[in-house]
Amino acid sequence: MASTPQQQTSPADPAGIAPPAGVAERGALTGPDLTDLDLTDPQTFTGTDLTALWRRFRAEAPVHWHPEAPGRPGFWVLSRYADIMAVYRDNTSFTSEYGNVLATLLKGGDSAAGHMLAVTDGPRHQAIRTLLLKSFSPRALGPVVAGVRRRTDALLAEVTARGTCDFAKDVAEHIPIATICDLLGVPLGDRQFLLDLNKQALSSDDADHSELDALGARNDILMYFSELARHRREKPADDVVSVLATGQIDGEPLNEAEVVLNCYSLILGGDETSRLSMIGAVAAFLDHPDQWRRLKDGTVSLETAVEEVLRWVTPTMHFGRRALRDLVIGGELIEEGDVVTLWNTSANADDSVFNDPARFDLARSPNKHVAFGYGPHFCLGAFLGRAEVAAALDALRRTVDHVAAAGDPAPLYSNFLHGLASLPVRLVPRMGDAA
């Protein structure tokens, strides 16, 4: 592992990524030394202007070496869209099988590697993904999406009748988790239990939340799905747990770890992105009432609005890889074995790709964001995630006249997820709905 950044003076660039043009001109931004920022600390992302922070990284150190600390190795931080996309595409120079987020990459590995899709590469990854794809196709998800719309309409009708609500806890928490639980076949009585575990496993509403708490939550989720998969083997149903529990690859059933860990992955991934995007959309409408009016009046399409919400919020701040060989990115030598982190939250604000990225623009087009990642590990549930965000935006524009703050929002504490844990608002219904 490289302990300090090393310069590469050769013009050759195996990754095909040239150094940034105009860095000297754009590098005069002010602020603390970037080497003093700890991107592993959730507090770094709380109360920080992330747009300004990542603008500095792209300008001053687009391929930045994050120094090691006691008990933790150093790692590379990529902040430019082009560099990040190149690594996402390259599954021969980089691997996910040592982890794909800081929490596992910096510990030297992920116990789910080779079993869970997110941290499995090569033929086995493709085989498991193919097994699951039928369950996540637009045709298969048609009835599920219809259910999402009904559930979202009902929730909004309930909270608008009350007037004031916590949009995060009273609305957004219930939509994605119910949907993915429908797909997985989780009984209704177990869903709140799993939602609470989800929130503990990847982030927290509480700054005092510990890694031990997160580990315990993850273990509880795994134990839950181990038991559910055992039942589905004995009595299969029309759900994804049954697909995994009874599925075969090359005539052989999936092993226990593959079944349980992929259920775990789906329950976590199927909840966080959509839920945080919905909450972030309402928060954005409070700050940008002109965009709310454009959505409500139909002057922007639902499709472009969904994509801009996903870009604007970018709930998954980063993913990561480990280098399998020496190569050069942006003039820096990445050595075999180095950890490389890809900061989606910066890529989605890169002004070389997005015009005026600091502007929330529901009509933005094109909008090639990386909120769902890219390449071989592109999010399996992207279609469903978009459908859930669309259902929330559509229900809001049809039933709500305007949105007002009703208290202070509370942030998540995470170095992986970005968003709000609480958003008190007053939803004023349209006159026809109120009547």
pLDDT of residue 204: 55
Over residues 248-288, the pLDDT tens digits come to: 999 999 999 999 999 989 988 888 899 999 999 999 999 99
pLDDT of residue 432: 58
What is the Cα–Cα distance from 115 to 109, expressed in whole angstroms? Answer: 13
List 400's β-bridge partners, or say none: 429
Give how far Cα 219 sits from Cα of 14, 207, 233, Å: 41, 21, 21
What is the Cα–Cα distance from 296 to 306, expressed in whole angstroms? Answer: 14
- Residue 10 maps to a domain: no
198 residue type, one letter: N
Range 54-68 average pLDDT: 97
What is the Cα–Cα distance from 19 to 261, expressed in whole angstroms? Answer: 39
- 366 cis-preceded (ω within 30 degrees of 0): yes
What is the Cα–Cα distance from 34 to 125, expressed in whole angstroms? Answer: 36
All residues at 6 or more sequence positions from 341 whose CB lies less than 8 Å from its CB, including other chains: 39, 66, 75, 76, 77, 78, 102, 105, 318, 319, 320
pLDDT of residue 13: 41
- What is the DSSP secondary-structure string of 320-342? EEEESS-EEETTEEEPTT-EEEE
Contacts 24+ apart (CB under 8 A), 366-372: 367/304, 367/307, 367/308, 367/311, 369/307, 369/310, 369/311, 369/314, 370/81, 370/84, 370/85, 370/88, 370/344, 371/273, 371/277, 371/310, 371/311, 371/313, 371/314, 371/315, 371/316, 371/344, 372/273, 372/310
Over residues 135-155, the pLDDT tens digits come to: 999 999 999 999 999 999 999
* pLDDT band at residue 206 under the 50/70/90 scheme: low
What is the Cα–Cα distance from 159 to 40, expressed in whole angstroms? Answer: 37
- Residue 78 maps to a domain: yes
Say whether pLDDT at 421 is over 70: yes
All residues at 6 or more sequence positions from 294 whose CB lies less than 8 Å from its CB, including other chains: 300, 362, 363
* pLDDT band at residue 210 under the 50/70/90 scheme: low
pLDDT of residue 203: 55
The CATH number covering residue 412 comes to 1.10.630.10
Residues 59 and 34: beta-carbon distance below 8 Å:
no
pLDDT of residue 367: 98
Compute how many other C-beta atoms are within 10 angstroms of the C-beta atom of residue 297.
9
Count the alpha carbons within 13 Å of 9 in the hemisphere toward its beta carbon: 0
* pLDDT band at residue 202 under the 50/70/90 scheme: low
**To which H or E segment does residue 230 belong?**
helix 211-234
Total number of domains in the chain? 1
Count the alpha carbons within 13 Å of 21 in the hemisphere toward its beta carbon: 3
The 3-class secondary structure across 361-428, one letter per residue, is: CCCCCCCCCCCCCCHHHCCCCHHHHHHHHHHHHHHHHHHEEEEEECCCCEECCCCCECCEEECEEEEE
pLDDT of residue 47: 83
DSSP state for residue 356 in the 8-state scheme: S
pLDDT of residue 208: 59
Q: Which domain holds residue 353?
A: 23-434
Say whether pLDDT at 434 is over 90: no
* Biggest CA-to-CA distance, the chain: 72
Q: Which has the higher per-residue pLDDT, 11 or 121?
A: 121
Over residues 300-349, the pLDDT tens digits come to: 999 999 999 999 999 999 999 999 999 999 999 999 999 999 999 999 99
- Please report where in the chains the tokens 């120079």 appear, as a residue: 93
Range 45-74 average pLDDT: 95
Range 96-108 average pLDDT: 95
Q: Which of 198-202, 256-260, 378-382 has the lowest mean pLDDT?
A: 198-202
- Residue 9 maps to a domain: no
All residues at 6 or more sequence positions from 346 whose CB lies less than 8 Å from its CB, including other chains: 54, 57, 58, 79, 80, 84
- Residue 1 maps to a domain: no
Range 356-377 average pLDDT: 97
- Enter the tokens of residue 127: 């085989």
Chain centroid to Cα 370, Å, comes to: 9
What is the Cα–Cα distance from 213 to 192, expressed in whole angstroms? Answer: 17
Over residues 16-55, the pLDDT tens digits come to: 443 333 333 333 345 679 999 999 999 999 988 999 999 9
- Enter the tokens of residue 165: 């609500």
- Residue 172 maps to a domain: yes
- Residue 96 maps to a domain: yes
End-to-end CA separation in angstroms for the chain: 66
Over residues 149-176, the pLDDT tens digits come to: 999 999 999 999 998 999 999 999 999 9
**To which H or E segment does residue 246 belong?**
helix 240-246
What is the average pLDDT value for the chain, to the nearest integer?
Answer: 89
Range 46-72 average pLDDT: 95
Residues 156 and 144: beta-carbon distance below 8 Å:
no
- What is the DSSP secondary-structure string of 178-206? HHHHHHHT--GGGHHHHHHHHHHHH--SS
* pLDDT band at residue 207 under the 50/70/90 scheme: low
Range 124-130 average pLDDT: 96
- Residue 7 maps to a domain: no
Over residues 2-19, the pLDDT tens digits come to: 433 333 333 234 344 433
- Residue 257 maps to a domain: yes
Say whether pLDDT at 431 is over 90: no
Strands 75-78 and 339-343: parallel
Say whether pLDDT at 382 is over 80: yes
